[in-house]
Amino acid sequence: MLQSKLFYKTNKNKTAGVDSVSHDLLTRAGYVDQLMSGVYSFLPLGFLVLKKIENIIRKNMQSVGGQELLLPVLQPKENWIKTNRWDTLDILFKVKSSGDKEYAMGPTHEEIITPLAKKMVFSYRDLPFSVFQIQTKFRDELRAKSGILRTREFLMKDLYSFHSTQADFEVYYEKLAKVYANIYKEFGIGKITYRTMASGGSFSKYSDEFQTLTEAGEDIIFICKKCSFAVNKEIKVENPACPKCQNADFEEKKSIEVGNIFPLGTGFSKPFDLKFTDKDATEKPVIMGCYGIGLSRVLGTIVEASHDDKGIVWPKSVAPFLVHLIQIEQNPKVAKATKKLYLDLQKQNIEVLYDDRQKNPGEKFAESDLIGIPYRVVVSERTLAVNSVEVKERSKASVKLVKIKDLTKLF
Amino acid sequence: MLQSKLFYKTNKNKTAGVDSVSHDLLTRAGYVDQLMSGVYSFLPLGFLVLKKIENIIRKNMQSVGGQELLLPVLQPKENWIKTNRWDTLDILFKVKSSGDKEYAMGPTHEEIITPLAKKMVFSYRDLPFSVFQIQTKFRDELRAKSGILRTREFLMKDLYSFHSTQADFEVYYEKLAKVYANIYKEFGIGKITYRTMASGGSFSKYSDEFQTLTEAGEDIIFICKKCSFAVNKEIKVENPACPKCQNADFEEKKSIEVGNIFPLGTGFSKPFDLKFTDKDATEKPVIMGCYGIGLSRVLGTIVEASHDDKGIVWPKSVAPFLVHLIQIEQNPKVAKATKKLYLDLQKQNIEVLYDDRQKNPGEKFAESDLIGIPYRVVVSERTLAVNSVEVKERSKASVKLVKIKDLTKLF
């Protein structure tokens, strides 16, 4: 991509009225644009990061047999009445059609996937299975805040699993917990993300959240100093000792929930009469689980975890481009060599943002640090004199000269 | 994909209460599920086709410099007041937040992209550019009908282009018209899709629709018998002679609009004050165009155009799988050979649906015809005896024996 053509605008100055680093940096580096409170546009740079996150999640969901589908945003009121959530879920956006029909705007999709599964499931032989989608959700948050960390409209992956026995469910649930840990590792936030014991709400005693340590978080978790088991504050209050090792010495940390996995038991299969005929010829309700990850929140969390005072420092796995190619000086020789390198890198399927603009080097470097692409590759008359380019990794301080022919070995 | 695991259910019998072939076939072949009037879930098979359509559109939009982004569904009322469409656009879904703020649910995104562009565009040097998204749109259709051909919630690609001169806009507009023709060709409906002169509404005298001939369509177009130029009925009424060759002999056809390209002139840049400083230092309003394709409608239209009395006949470019591998007989030798072939094909990146179920051949073949995958590959004891498989193309009547080692040469 030529930077002169990119649909974005950076801002050197701190964004006014922001309450998180990610909101500030993503806004002024040109990744997102706030349309109104809690509602954001993803500009081309932000969209590229979203797609990277989406692809990592998709690959991992497919690895546990998840089949992708797409469920509607508009949902019938009747389904929400059936689960008693139409009047009780305060974040539910409701919309009325011209024919005076009322719909919910899906904040989650149990009310849709359960009756849909009922059309496919008859016998124990039809179980287990899991389906997922990556789709826009709506929640009427009273307090939308922290940029894209808590919004009214956001991208979410939600997977639903269906089982004939509790034992089968539990095996799958633990498998998903492992896959989740792997996903956060791929996002570059594995070391600061904790599987955290949390309340199970009205469906089960406990659920598991995945909490990433960050000052921008709204949650408090307690990490056992002996065994590193983490519990949400709500659990700690009920249970002052570590549920795993009984130690009572915890570290208290601020964190943000970047995912959760949730035993639903028969909480949805019963109201929707989703049952199956078991081997013993009796009818039983299907046992369900749900497993969510908010993509836009993850994007913000990665920035909270990975930045410095100059800007974002993207992990390679989710960076919008791998290489930020910067041309210094406008003389034809440098321009020609840089353009050739740009085309060569693209031929090798290396994603490159090419700063072809007429700006001074200081301005280009400052913007490059703000945008946060992993490798900055600078071409100038001086570097070309020794058939080289100057390479700086965004996450490191050192700069080195690399022969052009050896450049791609770095990546 | 193993068919025994696929989340779907077929139905031999014609769907009750449907008013189009695509609605009937897509429902009973397990591609879509109707949640309520005008609102559909895309099941895994349908999702795979949607992704193929999406990727074809994306590649073509990138080929004309389109940068992908993602704009919100929730849109501020003020923006719609500004363009005078809050009270006049009858298909606008309106939703109220708990804080009593009113939002539109985006049926289109001029009200968002225009003020966003204002943040990026200052000089003639910032023009031209184009951005697009593939995203869910909402329209409160009084008459949702024909399955996924006219729905209240649907996937759409919308591209917006921005220009400093009318001449530059016109060049880009014609370029897009060519790219659109190419897209429909890739979808396999190129020969029955006509660029059709239509009204330009309040923004310009004319626009162009892309109309696919089908009995399920709601539009009427007139095709000049002499030069094949097509005009929408509304234009024909105003203008009884062919606008291109002046011939007055037309063929009248039913068709469905599968895309449109639309000169917006300064109809949106003026209310949002989107202007630029031109070379002569004067300020001028930006000239805009918009270019839409409805993905879910295209999916339905392809089925309308490509089916027979047994089911869907997918063009290869958008088929959910390329090969439907069917195992006949459950003996271990056949099962082993079929499984090996399944894995070998996957290794070669050939998309295969493997019917590993214990059903009789007649039932498997009928379902295969209904689902409509381009190549049916049957493995039985008889075919294995000559190291072969039986291959039938869905679009042809003939069946042939092909050596297993030569199979992939067919695709």
Degrees to nearest 5, angle at CA A92 with A89 and A97: 135
Angle of helix A295-305 relative to helix A44-63, nearest 10 degrees?
Answer: 110
Q: Domain boundary residue among B286, B308, B330?
A: B308
> Does B63 share its domain with B139?
yes
Q: With H, G, I as helix, E, B as strand and everything else as coil, classify residue B364.
A: helix
Q: Is A341 inside any structural domain?
A: yes
| A155/A51 Cα distance (integer angstroms) | 11
Distance of CA A151 to the CA centre of its chain: 13
Contacts of B308 (CB under 8 A, 6+ apart): none
| Cis-peptide into B128, omega within 30 deg | yes
- Positive or negative: CA dihedral A192, A197, A199, A204: positive
Is the model's pLDDT at A144 over the cut of 90? Answer: no
Q: Is A329 inside any structural domain?
A: yes
Please answer yes or no on whether A72 and B35 come within 8 Å at the CB atom: yes
Cβ atoms within 10 A of the Cβ of B251, count? 12
| A136/B106 Cα distance (integer angstroms) | 13
CATH of residue B155's domain is 3.30.930.10
Degrees to nearest 5, angle at CA B258 with B256 and B264: 115
Q: Is A151 inside any structural domain?
A: yes
Q: Domain boundary residue among A308, A331, A357?
A: A308
Task: Give the E-state strand segments of A27-128 in sequence order.
Answer: 32-36, 39-42, 67-68, 74-76, 93-96, 102-105
The shortest C-alpha distance from B180 to chain A (Å) reads: 22
In B, minimum Cα distance to A162 occurs at: B7
Please answer yes or no on whether A131 and B7 come within 8 Å at the CB atom: yes
Question: Which of A7, A40, A160 would best serve as a mutation to test chain B binding (most B beta carbons within 10 A)?
Answer: A7
- Residue percentage of chain B with pLDDT more than 70: 100
| Residue range(s) defining the domain that contains residue B103 | 21-308
Q: Assess contact for A361 and A329: CB atoms under 8 A.
A: no
Cβ atoms within 10 A of the Cβ of A60, count? 20
The pLDDT of residue A403 is: 97
Instruction: Write the ipTM.
Output: 0.97
> Does B82 share its domain with B206?
yes
Q: With H, G, I as helix, E, B as strand and everything else as coil, classify residue B37.
A: coil
> Does B187 share its domain with B287?
yes
Q: Provide, as residue numbers in chain B, all residues whose Cβ is less than 8 Å from the Cβ of A74.
A: 35-36, 39, 138, 152-153
Is the model's pLDDT at B57 over the cut of 90? Answer: yes
Please answer yes or no on whether A73 and B153 come within 8 Å at the CB atom: yes
In degrees and rounded to multiples of 5, residue B182 shows phi and psi of -65, -40
In A, minimum Cα distance to B102 occurs at: A95
The shortest C-alpha distance from A239 to chain B (Å) reads: 35
> Does A72 share its domain with A201?
yes
Q: Provide, as residue numbers in chain B, all residues whose Cβ is less than 8 Å from the Cβ of A95.
A: 93-95, 105
Please answer yes or no on whether A116 and B40 come within 8 Å at the CB atom: no
Which among B76, B131, B153 has CB closest to A72?
A: B153
Q: Is A202 inside any structural domain?
A: yes
* DSSP conformation class of A192: G
Please answer yes or no on whether B142 and A68 come within 8 Å at the CB atom: no
Q: Provide, as residue numbers in chain B, all residues whose Cβ is less than 8 Å from the Cβ of A152.
A: 74, 97
Is the model's pLDDT at B350 over the cut of 90? Answer: yes
Mean per-residue pLDDT over chain A, rounded: 96
> Does A132 share its domain with A214?
yes
Is the model's pLDDT at B266 over the cut of 90? Answer: yes
Angle of helix B295-305 relative to helix B21-28, nearest 10 degrees?
Answer: 100
Is the model's pLDDT at B277 over the cut of 90? Answer: yes
> Does A253 share its domain with A368?
no
The pLDDT of residue B155 is: 97
Q: Per-residue pLDDT averaged across A200-222, rounded?
A: 93
Is the model's pLDDT at B344 over the cut of 90? Answer: yes
User: How many alpha carbons fall within 13 Å on the CB side of residue A355?
Assistant: 27
Q: Domain boundary residue among B308, B341, B372?
A: B308
Q: Assess contact for A332 and A274: CB atoms under 8 A.
A: no
Contacts of A270 (CB under 8 A, 6+ apart): A285
Each residue's pLDDT tens digit, B97-138? 888 899 999 999 999 999 999 999 999 999 999 999 999 999
| Cis-peptide into B243, omega within 30 deg | no
Distance of CA B54 to the CA centre of its chain: 7
Please answer yes or no on whether B105 and A90 come within 8 Å at the CB atom: no
Show contacts of B408-411: CB within 8 Å, 24+ apart: B408/B345, B408/B348, B408/B350, B410/B375, B411/B322, B411/B323, B411/B350, B411/B375
Please answer yes or no on whether A74 and B39 come within 8 Å at the CB atom: yes
Q: What is the largest CA-CA distance in chain B?
A: 81
Q: Is B9 inside any structural domain?
A: no
Which among B33, B74, B140 has CB closest to A152?
A: B74
The shortest C-alpha distance from B215 to chain A (Å) reads: 28
| A307/A214 Cα distance (integer angstroms) | 12
Which among A5, A95, A99 has CB closest to B105?
A: A95
Each residue's pLDDT tens digit, B189-217? 999 999 999 999 888 889 999 999 999 99
> How many domains are there within chain A?
2
Q: Is B15 inside any structural domain?
A: no
The pLDDT of residue B330 is: 80
Q: Enter the tokens of residue B109.
A: 């995104």
DSSP string, B305-337: HSEETTEE---GGG-S-SEEEEE-S--HHHHHH
Which among A41, A105, A119 has CB closest to B70?
A: A41
* DSSP conformation class of A66: P
> Does B229 share its domain with B162?
yes
pLDDT band at A38 (very low <50, low <70, confident <90, very high): very high
Please answer yes or no on whether A47 and B41 come within 8 Å at the CB atom: no
Q: Is A337 inside any structural domain?
A: yes
Please answer yes or no on whether B105 and A116 come within 8 Å at the CB atom: no
Q: Position of tokens 């008889």? A: B382
Please answer yes or no on whether B120 and A36 come within 8 Å at the CB atom: no
CATH of residue B355's domain is 3.40.50.800
The shortest C-alpha distance from A6 to chain B (Å) reads: 8
Q: Per-residue pLDDT averaged across B168-173, rounded?
A: 98
* DSSP conformation class of A2: B
> Does A385 share its domain with A243?
no
Each residue's pLDDT tens digit, A236-289? 988 889 999 999 999 999 999 999 999 999 999 999 999 999 999 999 999 999
The pLDDT of residue B145 is: 80
Q: Is B11 inside any structural domain?
A: no
Distance of CA B340 to the CA centre of its chain: 35
Q: Per-residue pLDDT averaged across A201-222, rounded?
A: 93
Q: Provide, as residue numbers in chain A, all residues whose Cβ is less than 8 Å from the Cβ of B94.
A: 95
The shortest C-alpha distance from B68 to chain A (Å) reads: 6
| B314/B372 Cα distance (integer angstroms) | 6
Buried b (16+ CB within 10 A) or exposed e, A149-182: bbbbbbbbbbbbbbbbeeebbeebbeebbebbbe
The pLDDT of residue B204 is: 87
Q: Position of tokens 């001028």? A: B284
In B, minimum Cα distance to A33 occurs at: B116
Buried b (16+ CB within 10 A) or exposed e, A217-249: bebebbbbeeeebbbbeebbeeeeebeeeeeee
Please answer yes or no on whether B47 and A40 come within 8 Å at the CB atom: no
Is the model's pLDDT at A204 over the cut of 90? Answer: no
**Bridge-based pairing state of the strands B323-327 and B352-355:** parallel
Q: Assess contact for B76 and A35: CB atoms under 8 A.
A: yes
